């Protein structure tokens, strides 16, 4: 089992250490703050090193403002702004010195993630416009779209600066849906923690629940029984399956391929009904618990056949999509994300792999039963909407194959062991969710209740990357490009 290696670092050395780490082939994953019982603030810089190596966690106790490392590792810019909003820590030299998570106009009595923040006290809020780049021309038209957009979609405000069909700049105003989920974990039991984690992002419920459980198990050094690990992998793949099918249906919607949309959404519905039949929840909720699963499942009897039927239909469907010129014409060369930008800005999951970065937590830092399972990780290099769609199509295939394999390997046995973390322990969880890498950083206080839970969702990373493919692009391609990223807002906003 891979874990993490904790090192302490002086605040002044942070930029140098991170620069060195990146030079040696490491990649930053997140930085977050937490307050131990005595109330001082600590930061954790989390980085991945090589394949199958422990994650590196740098512990840093800031004394006063900290130098920003966004210039060295651009993907940390948003993380630093989040810490600045929620913990009140100042960073010097932030390239984008605006609020991120809290909207301008929100004036909490103290930083909301401060443990002294009075419980259930809403922040006073007077809506004002947030910080964004200055557009220096009276000729440029501004199109504010949202937060209530057309269709049934999540709330985000997209501010386009555009001339006719040409988008000069997109400024997504996110965090309308910031619910303060991380704060809600404070002082909660583990069982409630899973329930909360499952409700951070509905369509990634299982990934979030699993990541939470793995972080707790990491802190508790808990060994989960093999059947539970196998079932966890199976359920994680079922989640990928319905998400990717939805993705294809929605992508067809944006390319106005009506029958393709209907078929994609129908296949998604079938996958969700399989979820419901297997687990009682269409979103695979209510199954996970640190130490295993809350109850055993019996997928052996019928799941294999149901998935085989689904696979055949999916194969016909994806083959048709891949030969439909009108569909492909609108995907190829749309929203190109090059490898360097993807790497620098921390794109993750299918987005990452479509831009030539071969990284998948299931294979490179295996968890659950993935270490024992053969896994194909599709990679494309063109970085356009078509590459992103192709990655998903290939992953659907791989997921079904993986589930069938699990069904063959699944042996009877217990599915749950007791899991109780030691006081003052901390754990790191990671999961390759359908949308990319998900991290949970968990800290326990003197008891065994949760003291701090940090969630780094894949959409948080991918929303950062997405606008960079929109600048200087075409209005007609926007919806297709957005659909090709398959973003969730709830996961990003938390």
Partner 1 sequence: MPLWTLFGLRKGKATTVWPKRGQENGQEGVRGMPRIEPQRCEDGCTQCAAVCPTEAIRVHADQTGAARLEVDYGRCIVCQLCVEACPTDAVTASSDWAFGTCNRSDLVLSGDFHIVPKVTEPESRHGFHRSLHIRHVDAGSCNGCESELQALNNPFYNLHRLGIFFTPSPRFADLLLVTGPVTYAMREPLQRAYEAMPEPRWVMAVGTCAVSGGVAGGGYACGNGLEGVLPVDLYLPGCPPNPAALIEALLMFLERAPQRVKGGRLVE
Partner 2 sequence: MSNDLLAAGLTSWLIAAGLALTGRATFFTRIILGIGGGVLLVLVVTTLPEGSASVHTPLGIGVSGSDFRLSPDALWLLGFGLPGAIFATWLGTPARHQATWSFGVAMSLIGALGVFGLQDAVSFLVAWEIMSLGGAVMILGEDLAPEKGRSVLFMLGLLEAGSVALILAFLLLSQQTGSLSFSDFAAAAGAMPKAEQLFVGLLLLIGFGAKLGLLPFYEWFPGAYGAGSGATGALLSGAVLNAAFFGFSRGLTEWLPVNHALPVSIPGIFIVAIGVLSAILSALYAFQQEDWRELLSLSSAENASIAVCLLGATMMFRQDGLTDLAGLAWTVALLHLAGHALAKGAMFLAADGVYRVVGDYMLVQRGILARNSWIFGLGALFAAMSLAAMPPLAGFVSEWYLFQVFFQGFHLSSLASRMTAALAGAGLALTVAIAFAIFIKLFGIGLLGRAERRVPQIAITTSVAVGVLGSLVLALAAGMPIWLTHLAPVSATFDSDAPSKMADGWLLVPLTAKFAFISPSKLVIVMPILALLPITLLLLSIRRRPRVVPVWYGGRDQNPQRAATTALTFSNALRTFYSFIYRPIIETERESPQDSNGKPYFTRRLVFTHDVAPIFGPYLFAPLEKLVISLAARLRIIQSGHLNFYLSLIGALLVIILLLVLL
Q: Is 278 in the site for partner 1 (CB under 8 A)?
A: yes
The answer to whether the beta carbons of residues 486 and 435 sit under 8 Å apart is yes
Q: What is the enclosing helix (H) or strand (E) of 171?
A: strand 166-173
Query: In terms of C-beta density within 10 A (0-12 exposed, 13-18 middle, 19 or more buried), how is residue 78 classed?
Result: buried
Task: Please report how close the Cβ of residue 258 comes to partner 1 at its closest, in angstroms.
Answer: 8
Residue 255: CA count within 13 A, CB half-sphere? 27
Asked, as a colleague might, if the bond just before 19 is cis with ω within 30 of 0, I would say no
Q: Where do the H-state alpha helices sit in 175-204?
A: 181-184, 190-198
d(CA 56, CA 21): 10
> What angle do the packed helices 385-409 and 303-321 form, to 10 degrees?
160
Task: Please report how close the Cβ of residue 68 comes to partner 2 at its closest, in angstroms.
Answer: 7
Nearer CB in complex with partner 1: 89/195: 195
Q: Is 488 in the site for partner 1 (CB under 8 A)?
A: yes
When CB distances are held under 5 to 8 angstroms depending on the partner's kind, the choice from partner 2, partner 1, none that residue 142 binds is partner 2
Binding mask 320-359 for partner 2 (x = CB under 8 A): ---------------------x--xx--------------
Q: Is 205 in the site for partner 1 (CB under 8 A)?
A: yes
Site residues for partner 2, 107-146, by CB under 8 A, read 127, 133-146
Main-chain phi, psi angles of 159, to 5 degrees: -110, 110
Nearer CB in complex with partner 1: 69/86: 86
Nearer CB in complex with partner 1: 178/405: 178
Query: In terms of C-beta density within 10 A (0-12 exposed, 13-18 middle, 19 or more buried), how is residue 446 classed?
Result: exposed
Strands 66-67 and 91-92: parallel
Site residues for partner 2, 153-192, by CB under 8 A, read 157, 161, 163-166, 168-169
Site residues for partner 1, 140-199, by CB under 8 A, read 147-148, 150-155, 175-181, 183-184, 188, 191-192, 195-196, 199
**Residue in 33, 260, 383, 486 binding partner 1, rule: CB under 8 A:** 260
Residue 65 CB: number of other CB atoms within 10 A?
13
**Residue in 29, 48, 68, 457 binding partner 2, rule: CB under 8 A:** 68
Q: Is 448 in the site for partner 1 (CB under 8 A)?
A: no
Q: Is 152 in the site for partner 2 (CB under 8 A)?
A: no
The answer to whether the beta carbons of residues 232 and 210 sit under 8 Å apart is yes
Residue 123 is encoded by which pair of tokens? 């922040």
The answer to whether the beta carbons of residues 371 and 361 sit under 8 Å apart is no
Site residues for partner 1, 74-103, by CB under 8 A, read 103
Site residues for partner 2, 17-36, by CB under 8 A, read none
- The residues binding partner 2 (CB under 8 A) are 68, 70-72, 74, 77, 93-96, 127, 133-149, 157, 161, 163-166, 168-169, 341, 344-345, 468, 472
């Amino acid at each position: 089992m891979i874990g993490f290696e904790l090192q302490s670092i002086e605040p002044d050395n942070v930029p140098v250490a991170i620069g060195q780490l990146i030079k040696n082939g490491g990649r930053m994953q997140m930085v977050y703050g937490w307050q131990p019982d005595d109330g001082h603030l600590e930061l954790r810089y989390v980085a991945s090193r090589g394949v199958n190596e422990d994650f590196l966690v740098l512990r840093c106790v800031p004394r006063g403002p900290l130098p920003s490392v966004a210039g060295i590792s651009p993907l940390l810019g948003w993380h630093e702004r989040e810490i600045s909003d929620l913990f009140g820590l100042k960073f010097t030299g932030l390239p984008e010195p605006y609020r991120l998570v809290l909207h301008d106009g929100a004036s909490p009595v103290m930083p909301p993630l401060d443990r002294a923040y009075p419980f259930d006290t809403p922040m006073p809020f007077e809506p004002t416009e947030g910080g964004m780049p200055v557009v220096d021309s009276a000729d440029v038209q501004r199109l504010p779209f949202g937060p209530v957009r057309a269709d049934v979609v999540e709330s985000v405000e997209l501010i386009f600066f555009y001339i006719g069909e040409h988008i000069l700049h997109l400024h997504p105003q996110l965090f309308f849906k910031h619910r303060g989920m991380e704060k809600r974990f404070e002082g909660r039991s583990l069982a409630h923690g899973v329930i909360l984690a499952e409700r951070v992002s509905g369509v990634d419920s299982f990934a979030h629940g699993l990541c939470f459980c793995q972080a707790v198990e990491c802190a508790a050094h808990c060994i989960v029984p093999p059947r539970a690990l196998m079932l966890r992998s199976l359920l994680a793949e079922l989640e990928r399956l319905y998400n990717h099918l939805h993705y294809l249906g929605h992508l067809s919607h944006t390319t106005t391929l009506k029958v393709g949309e209907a078929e994609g959404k129908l296949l998604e519905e079938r996958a969700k009904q399989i979820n419901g039949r297997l687990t009682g929840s269409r979103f695979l909720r209510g199954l996970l618990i640190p130490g295993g699963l809350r109850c055993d499942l019996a997928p052996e009897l019928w799941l294999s056949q149901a998935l085989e039927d689904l696979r055949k239909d999916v194969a016909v469907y994806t083959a048709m999509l891949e030969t439909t010129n009108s569909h492909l014409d609108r995907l190829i060369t749309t929203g190109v994300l090059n490898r360097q930008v993807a790497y620098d800005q921390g794109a993750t999951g299918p987005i990452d792999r479509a831009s030539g970065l071969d990284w998948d937590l299931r294979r490179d830092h295996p968890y659950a039963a993935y270490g024992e399972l053969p896994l194909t990780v599709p990679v494309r290099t063109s970085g356009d909407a078509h590459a992103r769609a192709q990655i998903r199509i290939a992953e659907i295939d791989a997921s079904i194959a993986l589930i069938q394999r699990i069904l063959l390997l699944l042996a009877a046995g217990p599915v749950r062991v007791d899991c109780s973390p030691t006081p003052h322990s901390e754990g790191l969880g990671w999961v390759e969710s359908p949308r990319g890498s998900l991290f949970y950083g968990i800290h326990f206080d003197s008891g065994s209740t949760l003291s701090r839970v940090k969630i780094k969702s894949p959409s948080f990373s991918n929303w950062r990357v997405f606008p960079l493919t929109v600048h200087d692009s075409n209005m007609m391609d926007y919806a297709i490009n957005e659909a090709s990223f398959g973003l969730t807002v709830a996961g990003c906003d938390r």
